């Protein structure tokens, strides 16, 4: 009788663990795009669009090849506006692994790149910020160069990083 109770207890524990794994522990899809106002001054101005690797050409045409070679899985993009004026686009590339993100970031580094503390590694230019965190690569570009642009982009980059 005691032996039977042990078996029942063990079965219940296993059932709970399996249920937890199937529900509560399931990895949730991450939305990396900060909502309007979540980062001071920044407003999200478009819906998020997502492209699977095979359709990435629809978004970036010939640029797609380097991302596909680096193992991109999907790409999401959304537009933003800073203080109602400065327009920017945030691209989030989900790569197959961290090495793929590292490869793209390294290719983006030029003599004009300035290292920034965002994610695992990042660089900034006058009108753009690129960083990686794990298997994710984020590229943010502004369409105008103003005195506020570099700091505003960095703040938005940190906002995205916080959601990854």
Partner 1 sequence: MKSRREFIKTTAAGALILGSSATAGKLGLAAMLDKPADAAKSKVVVARDAALHDASGQLDEKRVQDLLDRAIAAYTGREKPVEAWKRIVPVGKVIGLKVNGLGGKGISTHAALVMAICERLQQAGVKAGEIIVWDRGARDLSACGMTVATDPSRIRCYGNDVAGYEDQPVAFGTAKVNLAKILTRDCEMVINLPILKDHGGAGVTFSMKNMYGVVQRPYELHGNNCNPGVADLNCIPTVRDKVRFTIGDAMTSVYNGGPGFHPEYLWQPNALIVGEDRVAVDHTAWQMIERKRAEAGVPTLEAANRLPRYIATAADGEHRLGTNDPQRMHLMEV
In degrees, to the nearest 5, what angle opens at C-alpha 46 toward C-alphas 45 and 49? 150
| CB neighbourhood size of 129 (10 A) | 28
Helical (H) or strand (E) element with 3: helix 2-22
Is 65 a binding residue for partner 1 by CB under 8 A? The answer is: yes
Which residues pair with residue 130 across a beta bridge? 123, 139
Among residue numbers 128 through 157, which ones bind partner 1 (CB under 8 A)? 128, 141-145
Is 94 a binding residue for partner 1 by CB under 8 A? The answer is: no
Figure out which of the listed residues 19, 20, 37, 63 binds partner 1, where binding follows CB under 8 A. 63
- Tokens 């197959």 identify what position? 96
Nearer to partner 1, 36 or 46 (CB): 46
Q: Are 86 and 146 in contact (CB under 8 A)?
A: yes
Figure out which of the listed residues 43, 45, 48, 60 binds partner 1, where binding follows CB under 8 A. 60
Cβ burial 130-155 (10 Å sphere, 16+ → b, else e): bbbbebbbbbbebeeeeebbbebbbb
Figure out which of the listed residues 45, 74, 89, 102 binds partner 1, where binding follows CB under 8 A. 89
CB of 141 to partner 1, least distance (A): 6
Nearer to partner 1, 94 or 128 (CB): 128
User: In the structure, how many helices (H) and strands (E) does the chain have?
Assistant: 5, 8
Is 48 a binding residue for partner 1 by CB under 8 A? The answer is: no
CB of 23 to partner 1, least distance (A): 38
Is 126 a binding residue for partner 1 by CB under 8 A? The answer is: yes
The pair of three-digit structure tokens given for residue 93, joined into one six-digit string: 């590339």
In whole angstroms, what separates CA 43 from the centre of its chain?
A: 18
Nearer to partner 1, 121 or 141 (CB): 141
Enumerate binding residues for partner 1 (CB under 8 A).
57, 60-66, 87, 89, 108, 110-113, 125-128, 141-145
């Amino acid at each position: 009788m005691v032996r039977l109770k042990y078996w029942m207890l063990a079965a219940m524990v296993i059932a709970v663990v399996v249920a937890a794994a199937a529900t509560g522990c399931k990895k949730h899809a991450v939305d990396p795009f900060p909502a309007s106002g979540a980062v001071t001054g920044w407003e999200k101005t478009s819906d998020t669009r997502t492209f699977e690797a095979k359709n990435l050409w629809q978004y970036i045409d010939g640029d797609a090849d380097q991302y596909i070679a680096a193992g991109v899985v999907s790409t999401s993009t959304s537009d933003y506006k800073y203080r109602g004026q400065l327009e920017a686009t945030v691209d989030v590339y989900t790569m197959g692994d961290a090495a793929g993100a590292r490869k793209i970031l390294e290719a983006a580094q030029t003599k004009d790149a300035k290292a920034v503390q965002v994610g695992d590694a990042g660089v900034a230019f006058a009108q753009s910020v690129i960083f990686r965190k794990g298997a994710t690569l984020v590229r943010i570009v502004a369409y105008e160069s103003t005195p506020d642009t570099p700091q505003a982009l960095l703040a938005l980059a940190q906002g995205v990083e916080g959601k990854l």
